[in-house]
Amino acid sequence: MIFKKQGRVQKSTGSWYSVSTDTEQIYQCRLKGVFRNKGIKTTNPIAVGDIVDIEIESSDNTGIITNIHPRTNYIIRKATKLSKSTHIIASNVEQVIIIVSLVQPRTSTGFIDRILATAEAYHIPTVIVFNKTDLYDENVLMQLHNLRSNYESIGYKTIQTSAITGDGLKNLKHILKDQISLLSGHSGVGKSAIINKIDPNLNLKTGQISDYHLKGMHTTTFATMFPLSFGGNVIDTPGIKEFGLVEFEKVALGQRFPEIRCLMKDCKFNNCVHLNEPGCAVIAAVKNGEIAEYRYENYLNMLNSI
Residues in the site for Zn ion, rule: CB under 5 A? 267, 272, 274, 280, 282
The correct pick among 48, 98, 189, 198 for binding ligand GDP (CB under 6 A) is 189
Q: Does 184 bind ligand GDP (CB under 6 A)?
A: no
Instruction: Indicate the residue among 116 and 263 with the shorter CB distance to Zn ion.
Output: 263
Give the pairing of strands 95-101 and 74-78.
unpaired
> b vs e for 34-65, b when ≥16 Cβ sit within 10 Å of the residue's Cβ?
eeeeeeeeeebbbbbbbbbbbbbeeeeeebbb
Any idea what DSSP says for residue 266? G
Q: Which does 8 bind (CB under 5 to 8 A by kind): ligand GDP, Zn ion, none?
A: none
Residues 142-181, one symbol each (x = binds ligand GDP by CB under 6 A, - = not), give --------------------xxx-----------------
CB of 266 to Zn ion, least distance (A): 8
Query: In the window 193-212, what residues touch ligand GDP (CB under 6 A)?
Result: 193, 206-207
Q: How many chain residues interact with ligand GDP (CB under 6 A)?
A: 17
**In the set 188, 227, 244, 258, which binds ligand GDP (CB under 6 A)?**
188
User: Binding residue for ligand GDP (CB under 6 A) from 11, 77, 132, 256?
Assistant: 132
- CA dist 192 → 11, 53, 209, 222 (Å): 18, 31, 11, 16
Beta strands in the chain (DSSP E): 2-13, 16-21, 26-31, 51-57, 62-68, 74-78, 86-91, 95-101, 126-131, 157-160, 180-184, 224-227, 233-236
- Rounded to a whole number of angstroms, the minimum distance from the CB of residue 297 to Zn ion is 15
According to DSSP, the residues that pair with 64 across neighbouring strands are 30, 55
Least Å from the CB of residue 109 to Zn ion: 21
Contact yes or no for 86/78 (Cβ under 8 A): yes
Pick between residue 18 and residue 131 the one whose CB is nearest to ligand GDP. 131
Q: Are 239 and 226 in contact (CB under 8 A)?
A: no
- Residues facing 12 on adjacent strands: 17
Please report, as ranges, the residues that interact with ligand GDP according to CB under 6 A: 131-132, 134-135, 162-164, 185, 187-193, 206-207
